[in-house]
Amino acid sequence: MFARLFVDHPASVGETYFQHMGESLKIGGRLLLAALGCVVHAFVPGWCKTTGSTAILTLHKEVMPRRFDQPTF
């Protein structure tokens, strides 16, 4: 059970637990900033016009090569 929760998935993408944690935190932080840009844009449409879409496209390009077909649970 321990390996299934903490080791197997990071290993499947060629990372250790802590490497995977770092990458996940980086991606999560970037998503939070993109979300904040979208919220700002909702209130002031002239600001942050492409913040969300640019972040999504950039992250997609970075994450997809690392992705393997596997369940996410």
- Please say if the pLDDT value at position 73 is more than 70: no
24 falls within a domain: no
Instruction: Give pLDDT, residue 18.
Output: 96
Spatial distance between the Cα atoms of 7 and 16, rounded to a whole number of angstroms: 7
9 falls within a domain: no
61 falls within a domain: yes
Number of continuous H segments (helices) and E segments (strands) in the chain: 4, 0
> Is the whole model's pTM more than 0.85, yes or no?
no
**Confidence band, pLDDT 50/70/90 cuts, at residue 71:** low
How many domains does one find in the chain?
1
37 falls within a domain: yes
Give 6-51 pLDDT, tens digit per residue. 999 899 888 999 999 999 999 999 999 999 999 999 999 999 999 9
Among candidate residues 57, 72, 55, 54, the one with its CA nearest the CA of residue 13 = 72
**Confidence band, pLDDT 50/70/90 cuts, at residue 69:** low
- Give 64's DSSP letter: G
57 falls within a domain: yes
